[in-house]
Amino acid sequence: MLATLPFLQTTNFPAINRNTLNTLQVSLGYMCNQQCLHCHVNAGPNRTEMMTLDICEQILTYLRATPSIKCLDITGGAPELNLHFRYLVKSVRQIGLHVIDRCNLTILSELGQEDLAHFLTEQQVEIVASLPCYLEENVDKQRGKGVFQKSIAGLQQLNAAGYGQKDSGLILNLVFNPQGPDLPASQTILEADYKKFLEENYGIIFNQLYTLCNMPIQRFGSMLISKGQFNNYIQLLRNAHCNDNLDNVMCRNLISVDWQGYVYDCDFNQLLGLPLYLDTSTQRHISELTNVNLEGNPIIVAEHCYACTAGQGSSCGGALS
Ligand code: SF4
Ligand code: SF4
Protein backbone atom coordinates (compact mmCIF):
# COMPACT_ATOMS: atom_id res chain seq x y z
CA MET A 1 0.00 0.00 0.00
CA LEU A 2 2.88 2.37 0.80
CA ALA A 3 4.06 2.38 -2.81
CA THR A 4 0.66 3.48 -4.15
CA LEU A 5 0.45 6.64 -2.04
CA PRO A 6 2.77 9.26 -3.59
CA PHE A 7 2.92 11.70 -0.67
CA LEU A 8 3.74 8.84 1.69
CA GLN A 9 6.68 7.46 -0.27
CA THR A 10 9.46 9.49 1.30
CA THR A 11 9.53 11.21 4.63
CA ASN A 12 12.07 12.70 6.98
CA PHE A 13 9.76 12.12 9.92
CA PRO A 14 11.89 10.56 12.69
CA ALA A 15 11.70 6.81 13.30
CA ILE A 16 9.70 5.93 16.43
CA ASN A 17 8.93 2.71 18.30
CA ARG A 18 6.15 1.45 20.51
CA ASN A 19 6.09 1.69 24.29
CA THR A 20 3.72 -0.27 26.55
CA LEU A 21 0.29 -0.71 25.02
CA ASN A 22 -2.36 0.80 27.30
CA THR A 23 -5.22 1.75 24.96
CA LEU A 24 -7.16 -0.07 22.29
CA GLN A 25 -8.94 2.25 19.90
CA VAL A 26 -11.72 0.62 17.93
CA SER A 27 -13.72 1.97 15.01
CA LEU A 28 -17.20 0.46 15.02
CA GLY A 29 -17.83 1.56 11.42
CA TYR A 30 -18.26 4.58 9.18
CA MET A 31 -21.98 5.22 9.44
CA CYS A 32 -22.72 8.64 10.93
CA ASN A 33 -25.74 10.92 11.20
CA GLN A 34 -23.43 13.80 10.18
CA GLN A 35 -21.16 14.45 7.22
CA CYS A 36 -18.56 16.96 8.42
CA LEU A 37 -16.15 18.72 6.06
CA HIS A 38 -13.04 17.85 8.07
CA CYS A 39 -14.02 14.21 8.73
CA HIS A 40 -10.90 12.08 8.37
CA VAL A 41 -12.90 8.86 7.89
CA ASN A 42 -15.35 10.18 5.26
CA ALA A 43 -18.20 9.06 7.49
CA GLY A 44 -21.82 9.76 6.64
CA PRO A 45 -25.39 8.44 6.66
CA ASN A 46 -24.86 6.31 3.53
CA ARG A 47 -21.82 4.39 4.76
CA THR A 48 -22.69 0.78 5.55
CA GLU A 49 -19.42 -0.53 7.03
CA MET A 50 -20.16 -1.83 10.56
CA MET A 51 -18.22 -4.02 13.00
CA THR A 52 -19.99 -7.37 13.43
CA LEU A 53 -20.74 -9.13 16.72
CA ASP A 54 -18.13 -11.73 15.85
CA ILE A 55 -15.38 -9.08 15.61
CA CYS A 56 -16.62 -7.47 18.86
CA GLU A 57 -16.15 -10.88 20.54
CA GLN A 58 -12.60 -11.06 19.16
CA ILE A 59 -11.92 -7.61 20.59
CA LEU A 60 -13.15 -8.80 23.99
CA THR A 61 -10.95 -11.90 23.80
CA TYR A 62 -7.93 -9.70 23.05
CA LEU A 63 -8.71 -7.31 25.91
CA ARG A 64 -9.10 -10.17 28.41
CA ALA A 65 -5.71 -11.54 27.36
CA THR A 66 -3.88 -8.17 27.44
CA PRO A 67 -3.73 -6.83 31.00
CA SER A 68 -1.58 -3.81 30.05
CA ILE A 69 -4.63 -2.31 28.30
CA LYS A 70 -6.59 -0.08 30.64
CA CYS A 71 -8.84 1.73 28.20
CA LEU A 72 -11.10 1.01 25.23
CA ASP A 73 -11.51 4.12 23.09
CA ILE A 74 -14.54 3.71 20.80
CA THR A 75 -14.87 5.71 17.62
CA GLY A 76 -16.63 5.65 14.27
CA GLY A 77 -18.58 7.19 12.37
CA ALA A 78 -21.06 7.58 15.13
CA PRO A 79 -20.18 4.47 17.17
CA GLU A 80 -23.57 4.48 18.93
CA LEU A 81 -25.23 3.58 15.60
CA ASN A 82 -23.55 0.16 15.64
CA LEU A 83 -26.07 -2.42 16.91
CA HIS A 84 -23.44 -3.97 19.17
CA PHE A 85 -22.19 -0.72 20.75
CA ARG A 86 -24.01 -1.19 24.06
CA TYR A 87 -23.08 -4.87 24.32
CA LEU A 88 -19.41 -4.02 23.76
CA VAL A 89 -19.45 -1.19 26.30
CA LYS A 90 -21.14 -3.30 28.98
CA SER A 91 -18.78 -6.25 28.42
CA VAL A 92 -15.68 -4.05 28.57
CA ARG A 93 -16.88 -2.35 31.75
CA GLN A 94 -17.41 -5.81 33.26
CA ILE A 95 -13.75 -6.58 32.54
CA GLY A 96 -13.03 -3.44 34.56
CA LEU A 97 -11.64 -1.22 31.81
CA HIS A 98 -12.21 2.47 31.27
CA VAL A 99 -14.34 3.24 28.19
CA ILE A 100 -14.26 6.39 26.05
CA ASP A 101 -17.09 7.12 23.62
CA ARG A 102 -16.16 9.60 20.86
CA CYS A 103 -19.64 11.06 20.64
CA ASN A 104 -20.74 13.66 18.09
CA LEU A 105 -23.44 15.06 20.47
CA THR A 106 -26.16 15.27 17.76
CA ILE A 107 -26.57 11.49 18.04
CA LEU A 108 -28.24 12.09 21.41
CA SER A 109 -31.27 13.56 19.64
CA GLU A 110 -31.58 10.87 16.95
CA LEU A 111 -34.60 8.61 16.91
CA GLY A 112 -33.93 5.47 18.98
CA GLN A 113 -31.16 7.14 21.05
CA GLU A 114 -33.45 8.77 23.64
CA ASP A 115 -31.92 6.69 26.46
CA LEU A 116 -28.30 7.02 25.30
CA ALA A 117 -27.31 9.60 27.94
CA HIS A 118 -28.78 7.34 30.63
CA PHE A 119 -26.87 4.32 29.30
CA LEU A 120 -23.56 6.21 29.18
CA THR A 121 -24.11 7.51 32.72
CA GLU A 122 -24.95 4.07 34.04
CA GLN A 123 -21.80 2.57 32.48
CA GLN A 124 -19.62 5.54 33.63
CA VAL A 125 -18.39 6.04 30.07
CA GLU A 126 -16.10 9.01 29.45
CA ILE A 127 -17.37 11.19 26.61
CA VAL A 128 -15.11 12.99 24.17
CA ALA A 129 -17.23 15.21 21.96
CA SER A 130 -16.38 17.38 18.99
CA LEU A 131 -17.35 21.02 19.17
CA PRO A 132 -14.98 22.80 16.76
CA CYS A 133 -16.05 26.27 17.90
CA TYR A 134 -18.41 27.85 20.42
CA LEU A 135 -19.91 30.02 17.69
CA GLU A 136 -22.93 28.69 15.80
CA GLU A 137 -21.89 29.95 12.36
CA ASN A 138 -18.48 28.25 12.44
CA VAL A 139 -19.79 24.91 13.70
CA ASP A 140 -22.58 24.80 11.11
CA LYS A 141 -20.13 25.70 8.34
CA GLN A 142 -17.88 22.75 9.22
CA ARG A 143 -20.39 20.18 10.45
CA GLY A 144 -23.67 21.03 8.70
CA LYS A 145 -26.66 23.33 9.20
CA GLY A 146 -28.37 22.98 12.58
CA VAL A 147 -25.50 20.94 14.12
CA PHE A 148 -24.55 23.65 16.61
CA GLN A 149 -27.99 23.91 18.23
CA LYS A 150 -28.33 20.12 18.37
CA SER A 151 -24.85 19.88 19.92
CA ILE A 152 -25.80 22.43 22.57
CA ALA A 153 -28.96 20.43 23.33
CA GLY A 154 -26.80 17.28 23.58
CA LEU A 155 -24.40 18.95 26.00
CA GLN A 156 -27.27 20.22 28.15
CA GLN A 157 -28.69 16.69 28.22
CA LEU A 158 -25.32 15.30 29.33
CA ASN A 159 -24.91 17.98 32.01
CA ALA A 160 -28.39 17.16 33.31
CA ALA A 161 -27.37 13.49 33.53
CA GLY A 162 -24.34 14.49 35.64
CA TYR A 163 -21.62 14.79 32.98
CA GLY A 164 -19.02 17.48 33.66
CA GLN A 165 -20.46 18.07 37.16
CA LYS A 166 -17.99 18.33 40.01
CA ASP A 167 -17.43 15.00 41.85
CA SER A 168 -19.83 13.06 39.58
CA GLY A 169 -16.97 11.03 38.07
CA LEU A 170 -18.68 11.50 34.70
CA ILE A 171 -16.09 13.01 32.38
CA LEU A 172 -17.11 15.21 29.48
CA ASN A 173 -14.27 16.52 27.30
CA LEU A 174 -14.69 18.67 24.20
CA VAL A 175 -12.60 18.70 21.05
CA PHE A 176 -11.58 21.74 19.00
CA ASN A 177 -10.04 21.61 15.55
CA PRO A 178 -9.24 24.61 13.34
CA GLN A 179 -11.67 25.55 10.58
CA GLY A 180 -8.97 25.60 7.91
CA PRO A 181 -5.30 24.76 7.24
CA ASP A 182 -3.92 26.39 10.40
CA LEU A 183 -2.43 25.14 13.64
CA PRO A 184 -4.74 25.18 16.67
CA ALA A 185 -4.36 28.05 19.14
CA SER A 186 -3.12 27.37 22.69
CA GLN A 187 -5.21 24.64 24.33
CA THR A 188 -5.09 26.37 27.73
CA ILE A 189 -6.31 29.72 26.40
CA LEU A 190 -9.00 28.19 24.19
CA GLU A 191 -10.28 26.02 27.04
CA ALA A 192 -10.76 29.10 29.21
CA ASP A 193 -12.61 30.86 26.35
CA TYR A 194 -14.86 27.85 25.73
CA LYS A 195 -15.68 27.44 29.42
CA LYS A 196 -16.58 31.11 29.85
CA PHE A 197 -18.69 31.36 26.68
CA LEU A 198 -20.57 28.07 27.03
CA GLU A 199 -21.40 28.58 30.69
CA GLU A 200 -22.45 32.20 30.31
CA ASN A 201 -24.56 31.64 27.21
CA TYR A 202 -25.92 28.11 27.59
CA GLY A 203 -25.22 27.06 31.18
CA ILE A 204 -22.92 24.28 29.89
CA ILE A 205 -19.97 22.92 31.85
CA PHE A 206 -17.33 20.40 30.83
CA ASN A 207 -14.01 19.04 32.05
CA GLN A 208 -11.29 19.67 29.46
CA LEU A 209 -10.89 21.00 25.95
CA TYR A 210 -8.64 19.03 23.59
CA THR A 211 -7.20 20.92 20.64
CA LEU A 212 -6.46 18.79 17.58
CA CYS A 213 -4.62 19.55 14.38
CA ASN A 214 -6.48 18.66 11.17
CA MET A 215 -4.98 15.65 9.38
CA PRO A 216 -4.21 16.31 5.71
CA ILE A 217 -5.99 13.12 4.64
CA GLN A 218 -9.41 12.01 3.37
CA ARG A 219 -12.13 14.71 3.16
CA PHE A 220 -9.95 17.46 4.65
CA GLY A 221 -6.99 16.43 2.46
CA SER A 222 -9.20 16.49 -0.68
CA MET A 223 -10.49 19.92 0.26
CA LEU A 224 -6.90 21.19 0.57
CA ILE A 225 -5.99 19.70 -2.81
CA SER A 226 -9.04 21.25 -4.50
CA LYS A 227 -8.15 24.68 -3.08
CA GLY A 228 -4.44 24.34 -3.95
CA GLN A 229 -3.49 24.52 -0.24
CA PHE A 230 -2.22 20.97 0.32
CA ASN A 231 1.54 21.54 -0.11
CA ASN A 232 1.51 24.73 1.95
CA TYR A 233 -0.30 22.97 4.78
CA ILE A 234 2.22 20.08 4.81
CA GLN A 235 5.03 22.64 4.84
CA LEU A 236 3.37 24.50 7.73
CA LEU A 237 3.22 21.24 9.71
CA ARG A 238 6.83 20.35 8.89
CA ASN A 239 8.08 23.81 9.87
CA ALA A 240 6.28 23.61 13.21
CA HIS A 241 7.58 20.09 14.03
CA CYS A 242 8.66 19.79 17.67
CA ASN A 243 10.88 16.83 18.56
CA ASP A 244 9.72 16.81 22.20
CA ASN A 245 6.24 15.75 21.06
CA LEU A 246 7.64 12.49 19.68
CA ASP A 247 7.73 10.96 23.17
CA ASN A 248 3.98 11.31 23.59
CA VAL A 249 2.40 10.73 20.17
CA MET A 250 -0.55 8.45 20.72
CA CYS A 251 0.77 5.57 18.58
CA ARG A 252 3.41 4.90 21.28
CA ASN A 253 0.78 3.40 23.59
CA LEU A 254 -2.25 2.69 21.43
CA ILE A 255 -3.27 0.43 18.58
CA SER A 256 -6.21 1.10 16.31
CA VAL A 257 -8.59 -1.59 15.07
CA ASP A 258 -10.82 -1.07 12.05
CA TRP A 259 -14.42 -2.26 11.68
CA GLN A 260 -13.19 -5.56 10.19
CA GLY A 261 -10.71 -6.23 12.99
CA TYR A 262 -7.49 -5.23 11.17
CA VAL A 263 -4.85 -3.47 13.26
CA TYR A 264 -2.90 -0.21 12.68
CA ASP A 265 -0.56 2.06 14.66
CA CYS A 266 -3.29 4.74 14.83
CA ASP A 267 -6.60 5.56 13.15
CA PHE A 268 -4.91 7.90 10.66
CA ASN A 269 -2.71 5.05 9.44
CA GLN A 270 -5.86 2.96 9.35
CA LEU A 271 -7.49 5.41 6.96
CA LEU A 272 -4.37 5.53 4.82
CA GLY A 273 -4.21 1.73 4.65
CA LEU A 274 -0.83 1.55 6.45
CA PRO A 275 -1.00 -1.62 8.56
CA LEU A 276 0.79 -2.27 11.84
CA TYR A 277 4.25 -3.61 11.01
CA LEU A 278 5.03 -6.96 12.55
CA ASP A 279 7.95 -8.75 10.84
CA THR A 280 6.34 -8.02 7.47
CA SER A 281 3.90 -5.37 6.24
CA THR A 282 1.14 -7.96 5.80
CA GLN A 283 -2.16 -6.80 7.33
CA ARG A 284 -2.59 -8.10 10.88
CA HIS A 285 -5.89 -9.04 12.46
CA ILE A 286 -6.73 -8.55 16.14
CA SER A 287 -7.40 -12.30 16.42
CA GLU A 288 -3.70 -12.94 15.57
CA LEU A 289 -2.28 -10.60 18.19
CA THR A 290 -3.23 -12.32 21.43
CA ASN A 291 -0.07 -12.75 23.52
CA VAL A 292 2.08 -10.87 20.96
CA ASN A 293 4.27 -8.29 22.73
CA LEU A 294 4.32 -5.12 20.61
CA GLU A 295 6.71 -3.16 22.82
CA GLY A 296 9.66 -1.86 20.79
CA ASN A 297 7.86 -2.50 17.50
CA PRO A 298 8.60 0.12 14.81
CA ILE A 299 5.73 2.52 14.06
CA ILE A 300 4.87 3.21 10.43
CA VAL A 301 5.37 6.95 9.89
CA ALA A 302 4.87 9.26 6.90
CA GLU A 303 4.35 12.95 6.11
CA HIS A 304 0.92 13.12 7.79
CA CYS A 305 2.65 12.36 11.13
CA TYR A 306 3.82 15.99 11.26
CA ALA A 307 0.20 16.85 12.14
CA CYS A 308 0.80 15.04 15.46
CA THR A 309 4.06 16.81 16.29
CA ALA A 310 3.48 20.35 14.95
CA GLY A 311 3.41 23.14 17.54
CA GLN A 312 1.91 22.04 20.85
CA GLY A 313 1.31 18.58 19.34
CA SER A 314 -1.93 16.73 18.76
CA SER A 315 -3.35 13.40 19.86
CA CYS A 316 -6.70 11.83 20.69
CA GLY A 317 -6.13 13.33 24.16
CA GLY A 318 -5.44 16.84 22.85
CA ALA A 319 -2.19 18.84 22.93
CA LEU A 320 1.02 17.01 23.88
CA SER A 321 3.04 19.88 25.33
S1 SF4 B 1 -19.47 13.48 13.43
FE2 SF4 B 1 -17.38 12.69 13.42
S3 SF4 B 1 -17.51 10.73 12.33
FE4 SF4 B 1 -19.38 11.87 11.89
S5 SF4 B 1 -18.96 12.91 9.95
FE6 SF4 B 1 -18.47 14.33 11.62
S7 SF4 B 1 -16.29 14.05 12.02
FE8 SF4 B 1 -16.99 12.29 10.81
S1 SF4 C 1 -0.15 9.91 12.48
FE2 SF4 C 1 -0.31 8.07 13.70
S3 SF4 C 1 1.64 7.02 13.37
FE4 SF4 C 1 1.94 9.14 12.78
S5 SF4 C 1 2.72 10.14 14.64
FE6 SF4 C 1 0.51 10.42 14.58
S7 SF4 C 1 -0.28 8.78 15.82
FE8 SF4 C 1 1.81 8.23 15.26
Q: How far is CA 198 from CA 25, 148, 171, 203, in A?
A: 29, 12, 17, 6
- Asked whether residue 177 carries a pLDDT value surpassing 80, the answer given is yes
26 lines ligand 2 (CB under 6 A): no
pLDDT of residue 223: 86
- Res 5 pLDDT > 60: no
73 lines ligand 2 (CB under 6 A): no
275 or 38: which leads in pLDDT: 275
Q: What percentage of residues in the chain have a pLDDT greater than 90?
A: 78
- What is the band of 116 on the pLDDT scale with cuts at 50, 70, 90? very high
* Closest residue to atom 5 of ligand 2, CA basis: 305
Predicted confidence band of residue 9 (pLDDT cuts 50, 70, 90)? low
Q: Does domain 2-309 have CATH number 3.20.20?
A: yes
Which ligand has an atom closest to residue 308 CA? 2
Indicate if ligand 2 lies below 6 Å from the C-beta of 254: no
Which residues in 220-302 belong to E strands, given as ranges? Answer: 254-257, 262-264, 284-285
> Taking 80 as the threshold, does the pLDDT of residue 105 lie above it?
yes
- Neighbouring C-beta atoms of residue 112, cutoff 10 Å: 9
Separation of CA 135 and ligand 2 centre (Å):
30
Q: Can you give the residue ranges of every domain in the chain? A: 2-309
- Residue-wise pLDDT for 232-277, tens only, equals 999 999 999 999 999 999 999 999 999 999 999 999 999 899 999 9
Does the Cβ of 306 fall within 6 Å of ligand 2? no
Q: What is the mean pLDDT of residues 165-172?
A: 95
**Cα 308 to averaged position of ligand 2 atoms, centre (Å):** 6
Task: Name the pLDDT band for 38 (thresholds 50, 70, 90).
Answer: confident
Name which residue sits closest to atom 7 of ligand 1, judged by CA.
39
**Which of 167, 175, 80 lies closest to 118 in space, CA to CA?**
80
pLDDT at residue number 4:
40
Ligand 1 residue neighbourhood (C-beta within 6 Å): 32, 34-36, 39, 41, 43, 76-78, 104
pLDDT tens digits along 147-156: 999 999 999 9
Average pLDDT over residues 75-103: 97
Q: Which of 34, 103, 177, 258 to mutate to test the pocket of ligand 1 (most atoms within 8 A of CB)?
A: 34
